[in-house]
Structure 1
């Protein structure tokens, strides 16, 4: 196209729309992943929407790219909704850029997506390094023959029980049978005094005896749980209760392969391939300290090599693809423990844990003491480690701060390490927090911050244009103290000023982040209207960070009548002890203690080391933070009790209930 023709050329509406989306994809890659695109042609392209993280396999993408030229490399990072392709020549990459940009394809689930390609100067990917199986974990391939597999699967009668030898249940996402003892999911335990008649199925006797003789297991199990999983279903991350079972837990995978994720309390995650007819044996650290779970999805990220074996899934982005799940049946054998557990992990052992949870506070004084011990003191101890996990700003909070007029005075009440204090350089922001160590981190980063109580902030009334309170209000132990904290935010605002408030949600939507790369998050109608149409961060990625910490992922009744009407149907805590939450599981109580596993040097801002000096995994001390997690409508109802306030928006943001209110 010559210059005269180019100057007279006008883009159509469709072309303008596509260009906006392509630019948005480029901005999103830079903001979230640090991937910088260029406007001139190179040999390498980044393909937005064409990644393992949004259902596009290597076998699907590679032939499409090869139609445009000789592909030198196709790099598909695990769990990311984009990939990189490098061609032999720049001419070939240009051909792909024009031929495939805006091309609509179907992912492996049959959903339509649109590819957006941009040139990149260089392709870099930080490999995760060589991963090893968690200590004490063993995977034995081809532990049984195909004939034995067929025999075992055929022996399962999923019809109605007639002999009372087992307990059969249909859970939400799978069918289950228990033999020997019924496993109670409500407390993750068994009733030792009520064995099921008949013991384990006779068909298992010879197989177990063989494993004992060959040394794969050291004791004969007396409890069996059979689970049947449809594609797309999984199990939450968990640790089998220490006091319920002996050290050795084994699981036989039949019918289909699966990837099981093991996670250490320090955050190290190891995906482990369990091939069909393989035996998983968990003992020691892998059994007592690491959680294990299966992410609900219809595809697993696996090695593309045909000789697929058990073991860890590497981070070789040049050899990863998707594997469609099939119907999997697992036989999990355990031996019921008759004496208390005396493992080497007392801090996470229910038999050895000596800490007694505090009672629910019945007065303001008791609430203050609870917060002092289980909020203020804990954050002083974990400040450095906590700060190292708080580095990614949340898109909607960034939106709020960047939409404020230049020169606005903004208070961040409960600022933590100050990650939001420098978001918008056009604002005058000041932070405050109850933790001296966190405030010190803010000051080291050249932010204005001071120590104070969020119930009595030493800032003049009506002096702020805006306030933010991110993951703070849920640390107050009574409804009255939570309302007082909200009133204090309103007091700081001038008439017309706005406050943004985030609190943890009781209704954690685990494993439901299915939004496509440019499809946006599912948000409330109120939020949709408030977000700017030209934002480049409106939920474009599948994996947005949650202020529910990676460690935390797992109802007391408010006394206020309005909260009871609009809150949730919750059970009273009364004088009972507060429950201790199991990390990375759903919440079962509104008022609870959430464990924090401290790693590395507790000095502030020191890097966290996941291993001890001898190379072994060191669990480190465990601290417990008090939380009141909010039910749907509860935060909004609390704000409605305030005078001179109008609620502009309320919405759910990846594990949090959020409100934007305005002082009128």
Structure 2
């Protein structure tokens, strides 16, 4: 199969590789991906190669099957879907669970964030300051990152210029740390917070991926803001499982859900505007000076 052609980017578009958005979807590059006329990485490749030098982080939703299974976040069991994603146990009443498919270490906690707290966080992100400001990202998203900058290809960590975390994030970070500590029986040192904005207007999505395993640890937390959404998990066999995330919910990926499944959000599951927060810790195997690690943790416990 041919390689993907390099196309001039549309204004406000940062897409490259397998990623596309509403601005570039008609390009030759994007159409080649959509119609699978180019060589595309499979989910099995992402999972098997995640620790190697040639690691790739994601595969395209265009080569992932439709989601036939759903995980109920209330009972943490997986069922064949007949009428859409499961929003509660009532939606699969009388249905036999599939005991051969498991997503280990996934927790979904509804109503973790109040509407008032959500409003405060969104206002902080939308009001430019010296610590924040939306920047265009890939697949029609915008982003704001707080914490050290990681160069994933070179496996280097840039800690210069870290001033601490925004004061506006202190309350939610403390709540997340406390919850994750209690549910996993281990302290949760958040060193990076990433905010992503998705909009239907820009055909935003995020392809199935595994968060980098070189720098980030076993526990990856997330907050779902502004609207309900559906997160899709994909295993090495290409099986896709949908999980309903209510507005204001916190979710935690750990163990199997972190390493054995890719996770992403299809563009059709962004209805209006969604904002997510992701909270990450350092990997226990991070091969950099321990003094640097401790210094970063100390700085990210400072709020400015």
Deviation at 1:168, TM superposition (A): 4.8
Q: Is the 8 A contact 1:188 1:241 kept in 2?
A: no
> C-alpha deviations, 1:487-508, integer Å up to 9, x for none?
xxxxxxxxxxxxxxxxxxxxxx
Deviation at 1:141, TM superposition (A): 0.7
Structure 1 counterpart of 2:178, from 192, 213, 216: 213
> C-alpha deviations, 1:490-531, integer Å up to 9, x for none?
xxxxxxxxxxxxxxxxxxxxxxxxxxxxxxxxxxxxxxxxxx
Partners of 1:148 and 1:190 in 2: CA distance: 35
In the alignment, structure 1 residue 177 sits paired with structure 2 residue 106: no
| Aligned residue number for residue 520 of structure 1 | none
Give SS of 2:104's match: coil
Larger CA Rg, structure 1 vs 2? 1
Q: 1:252 to 1:77 in 2, by over 3 A?
A: closer
Give SS of 1:147's match: helix
| Aligned residue number for residue 147 of structure 1 | 116
Q: TM-score, normalised by structure 1?
A: 0.26
Partners of 1:178 and 1:135 in 2: CA distance: 28
Deviation at 1:242, TM superposition (A): 0.9
Partners of 1:175 and 1:207 in 2: CA distance: 21
| Aligned residue number for residue 267 of structure 2 | 296
Structure 2 counterpart of 1:204, from 165, 169, 191: 169
Structure 2 counterpart of 1:255, from 201, 204, 226: 226
In the alignment, structure 1 residue 230 sits paired with structure 2 residue 165: no
Give SS of 1:246's match: strand
Deviation at 1:259, TM superposition (A): 0.5
Give SS of 1:207's match: helix
Q: 1:260 to 1:332 in 2, by over 3 A?
A: same
Q: TM-score, normalised by structure 2?
A: 0.55
| Aligned residue number for residue 311 of structure 1 | none
5+ residue gaps in structure 2?
A: 1-65, 67-80, 86-94, 288-304
Partners of 1:268 and 1:128 in 2: CA distance: 18
Give SS of 2:171's match: helix
> C-alpha deviations, 1:87-106, integer Å up to 9, x for none?
xxxxxxxxxxxxxxxxxxxx
* Higher RCO (Cα < 8 Å, 6 or more apart): 2
Q: Is the 8 A contact 2:227 2:246 kept in 1?
A: yes
Q: 1:229 to 1:244 in 2, by over 3 A?
A: same
Q: How does 1:161-176 map to 2 (within 5 A)?
A: 163=130, 165=131, 168-172=134-138, 173-176=140-143
Q: How does 1:380-529 map to 2 (within 5 A)?
A: none
Q: How does 1:67-216 map to 2 (within 5 A)?
A: 129-130=97-98, 134-157=103-126, 159=128, 163=130, 165=131, 168-172=134-138, 173-182=140-149, 187=152, 191-214=156-179, 215-216=182-183
Q: Is the 8 A contact 2:149 2:158 kept in 1?
A: no
Deviation at 1:265, TM superposition (A): 0.7
| Aligned residue number for residue 418 of structure 1 | none
5+ residue gaps in structure 1?
A: 1-52, 54-74, 80-126, 301-323, 342-664
Deviation at 1:236, TM superposition (A): 0.8
Q: 1:143 to 1:78 in 2, by over 3 A?
A: closer
Give SS of 2:123's match: helix
Give SS of 2:285's match: coil
Partners of 2:153 and 2:231 in 1: CA distance: 19
| Aligned residue number for residue 328 of structure 1 | 274
Q: 1:174 to 1:257 in 2, by over 3 A?
A: same
Deviation at 1:216, TM superposition (A): 4.5
Partners of 1:189 and 1:271 in 2: CA distance: 33
Q: 1:257 to 1:78 in 2, by over 3 A?
A: closer
Partners of 1:142 and 1:155 in 2: CA distance: 20
| Aligned residue number for residue 400 of structure 1 | none
Q: 1:158 to 1:265 in 2, by over 3 A?
A: farther
> C-alpha deviations, 1:212-260, integer Å up to 9, x for none?
3342464021101100000242101110111110111001010011111
Give SS of 1:203's match: helix
Q: Is the 8 A contact 2:223 2:251 kept in 1?
A: yes
Q: 1:325 to 1:258 in 2, by over 3 A?
A: same
Partners of 1:281 and 1:144 in 2: CA distance: 14
Tell me the C-alpha RMSD between the 2 structures. 3.1
Partners of 1:189 and 1:226 in 2: CA distance: 24
Q: 1:147 to 1:189 in 2, by over 3 A?
A: farther
> C-alpha deviations, 1:114-152, integer Å up to 9, x for none?
xxxxxxxxxxxxx89547761011111111211111111
